Chains A and B, each alone.
Chain A
Amino acid sequence: MEKPLNNRAWFLVMPVALIVAFNAILPLMTVVNYSVQDTFGNNQFFWNGTGWFKDLLDPNAELGGRFLAALGRNVSFSLIILSIEVPLGILVSLCMPKKGPGVAACLVIMALPLLVPWNVVGTIWQIFARTDIGLLGWTVSHLGINYNYTNEFFSAWFTIILMDVWHWTSLIALLCYAGLKSSPDAFYQAARIDGASRWSVFRAIELPKLNRVLLIGVLLRFMDSFMIYTEPFVVTGGGPGNSTTGVSIDLVKIALGQFDLGKAAAMSIVYNLIILSTCWVFYTVMTNVDAPDRPRDAKDGAL
């Protein structure tokens, strides 16, 4: 909606704009600067042009192979957790009580995992999944399953996926719950009268209502899981081998472990661009779905 313009308001934005300039644009420019140079330490830099970028996108180069593998792991991770968290979140939201004293309790319990800081989540699961003292690890390995996230590929992936599902399914569930609550009772009543099964009610009434919130949920979860760092770092440290090393973890390894600032800078720029373009795609889709209607005369506003 357009509002009358008053340009004086921009003065209020000035301090924020300055701060953002200092802590976002300046560091970003430094990164751009690094990405076109090479260094051998001693704070000496050599011009390298687009060399790092070429390496980065070439699967046969050492850097490119490493980057694309990490990127692949990131994509797989995001897809897996989305395909679990979205249906599970919807299911949970459908099971949540719509009224009564249970609502508040349910909401608090659901919100709990969301309130735990990332590194604490990692630590909790690091301990929880240990086979010697962790409840989960001990139970699973005593069931006769070979489970050890520190040295076995599937165990490691299973653990970080389970951890993410535990941490973030609530978000999807809460978003969906809010979406579901906005359907007037008349719709459910009409569906009952029409003899609709539970599944038909879901397909015909609930899912269309969830369209928009799910888009937001998927966007949030995709971006967040795509940039995941802390939790796998705390739990598996990216291992075993490189099996749980995503782009973020790899970036830190290159930048701070090997001190290859040029490679890391190029990598972070490409990584950033990927995230931005994904965001843009989502945004376009969402605004098209959400295309606002004209301001309707009050009468029509109800539904």
Chain B
Amino acid sequence: MARLELRDLSHSYKPNPVEPADWALKPMTMIWEDGGAYALLGPSGCGKTSLLNILSGLVIPSRGKVLFDDVDVTTLPTEQRNIAQVFQFPVIYDTMTVEQNLAFPLRNRGVEPAKIDARVKEVAAMLELTGDLKRKASGLTADMKQKISLGRGLVREDVRAVLFDEPLTVIDPHLKWQLRAELKRVHRQSKTTMVYVTHDQTEALTFADKVVVMYDGDVVQVGTPQQLFEEPAHTFVGHFIGSPGMNVLPASVAGGVAHIKGNEILLGRSYQPIDSAKRVEIGVRPEFLRLGSGTEGLPVTVKRVEDTGRQKIIRAELDGLPIAALAHEDETVPASGVRLIADPARVHVYADGQLVRA
């Protein structure tokens, strides 16, 4: 278990990076505390996999340092870093039994058999694999295989961190729920630092204490799931997290009121005048828009209502601007005369994509 630190780290796959676009990872400094659960979240090509490869030692960063417990490991090869990794597709040793798979890393390190046995039993119990120890690993289901991959990491007492690279990709939805909950429980029990890379917001948010949202090689926000949901620092975070994402609407802001296409919307706070050269937008999540009628709220035309089972997604337009809102599964959405009322405290103001504080 260790505290991971990235110090002034940046990386480019080109030998002589000149433009900002040449950098796969833009300069960043970050500390991941010992025993924490972290997620790197972002779309394909945002640099999250590069960052993971830098942590695991597959890629040496162009600039900056990687420190494990204040020891510089930047150029150390993978096998000397004492990390474990769970890959997108299950990696198990087909010819071995579950038990042999779990014992493999210890056997390679010459640990004495009695100790291996005890440790394997302990980890198997933690992962609820005890009954399957004698089975051949090749015939198991994908979720079991992923558990074994994780087990091979946890079995080593000196493991400093477990890295997950989209580990639930090949898992069926209903098993994802089980495996996710198990991962979380195992994290609590083992107190190992874990870093989880994914493009799936639900996986990232449910797994991590802190989520690092990345976009185009940049870290756009680091925060708890609640912070990311309630106060996205960037319109990208608002859009990427939440399903559907935050509504981002061009507006003009004066004091505590915003104007969108001639409609007034109340803000929970009062804002200083914003530089007119900047693009001003307000962001409000569909969760914080409720149905209204009469004269209060934004007059919208409902285009479609999607029933997701437990809630309804209202797809509407405000004078041509698409806007989404959520309604309870029992709520009726009238065909016309619909107004959407925003919770003023939940409306945020953005200038050039960045959150403006009141």
Contacts and interface: CB of A to CB of B under 8 A. Distances in A.
Nearest to B159: A193
Interface in B63-92: 77-79, 83-85, 87-91
B79 A303 contact: no
B89 A302 contact: yes
B95 A303 contact: no
A258 interface: no
A289 to B, nearest CB: 13
A189 B152 CA distance: 13
A30 B88 CA distance: 62
B170 A200 contact: no
Contacts of A200: 104, 108
Contact of B94 (A184, A193, A208): A208
- Which of A184, A187, A192, A208 has the most B CB atoms < 10 Å from its CB? A192
A189 B96 CA distance: 18
Contact of A302 (B85, B96, B170): B170
B170 to A, nearest CB: 6
Contacts of A189: 56, 58, 78, 85, 87
- Which of A184, A200, A204 has the most B CB atoms < 10 Å from its CB? A204
Interface string A163-193: 0000000000000000000001011011011
Contacts, number: 57
A190 B79 contact: no
A193 B108 CA distance: 11
A205 interface: yes
Given A204-B95, A208-B95, A300-B142, A192 B79 contact: yes
Contacts of A106: none
A210 to B, nearest CB: 12
Nearest to B110: A195
B91 A196 contact: no
A194 B78 contact: no
Contacts of A193: 56, 78-79, 83-85, 105, 153
Contacts of A208: 93-95
A204 B100 CA distance: 11
Interface of B: 56, 58, 77-79, 83-85, 87-91, 93-96, 104-105, 108-109, 142, 149, 152-153, 170, 172
Interface of A: 184, 186-187, 189-190, 192-197, 200, 204-205, 207-208, 299-300, 302-303
21 contacts: A184-B89, A186-B89, A189-B56, A189-B85, A189-B87, A190-B149, A190-B152, A193-B56, A193-B83, A194-B104, A194-B108, A196-B104, A197-B108, A204-B93, A204-B104, A205-B93, A208-B93, A208-B94, A208-B95, A300-B142, A302-B170
